[in-house]
Amino acid sequence: MELYNYIKSLHLIFVITWFAGLFYIVRLFVYQAEAFQKTEPEKTILLNQYKIMSYRLWYIIAWPSAVLASFFAFWMIFFTPIGNAWLSMTWMHVKLAFVLVLYLYHWKCHQLFKQLQNDTCNHSSNFFRLWNEVATIILFAVVFLVILKNAINWVYGVVDIVLFSILIMLGFKFYKKIREKK
């Protein structure tokens, strides 16, 4: 049991750093998209700095955290009695579905990262601001599933996540109007 608690702690630490990396990388994408709109020499200076920051964040924090969070998750699930028991529970299946969505999100962020590293920006800063909220929604879903361990009412949870997403979108539109007035 003591080993399990160490594994669980390490898993949680790397999940936190993974999300931190995902949240911050997309924030850097916002800044990079905005830097493309600047004039020279400010544009080149900013883009070069953001590329360095993004590269270090992505390869030193985000990717290693994703790999280590996954490693400790697999260890917990497949090599401990508690994890094996959880695998038979519905809430864990729903949680793993959200984790799959998180991996897909991470992969899409990687594609966006590579585009921006190659000085290609196909999206606006507003797109990236909204894109950043996807990780927030996944985080909320996973945390509530893990804490409540109840997938029977996951439909209500999904409705709550949709409502939360609508609130985020309304907040985004409000923030956009404030920014446009400045």
Omega before 64 cis (within 30°)?
Answer: no
Residues 47, 138: Cα–Cα separation, whole Å = 29
Residue the block writes with tokens 């990396």: 21
Domain tally, the chain = 1
Tokens describing residue 153 = 């009412």
The overall average pLDDT reported for the chain is 90
By the 8 A CB rule, do 5 and 80 touch? Answer: no
Q: What is the pLDDT of residues 109-159, one digit of tens each?
A: 999 999 999 999 999 998 999 899 899 889 988 888 888 887 556 667 667
What 3-state DSSP class applies to 12? Answer: helix
By the 8 A CB rule, do 70 and 12 touch? Answer: no
Tokens describing residue 52 = 């360095």
Compare 161 and 14 and report the one with higher pLDDT.
14
The domain containing residue 176 runs over which residues? Answer: 2-181
Round the CA-based radius of gyration of the chain to a whole number and report it. 19
Is the pLDDT confidence value at 173 over 90?
no
Is the pLDDT confidence value at 101 over 70?
yes
By the 8 A CB rule, do 36 and 43 touch? Answer: yes
DSSP 111-164: HHHHHHHTT---S-HHHHHHHHHHHHHHHHHHHHHHHH---TTHHHHHHHHHHH
Mean pLDDT of all residues in 90-106: 93
pTM for the model = 0.86
Residue 106, annotated as binding a ligand: no
What 3-state DSSP class applies to 176? Answer: helix
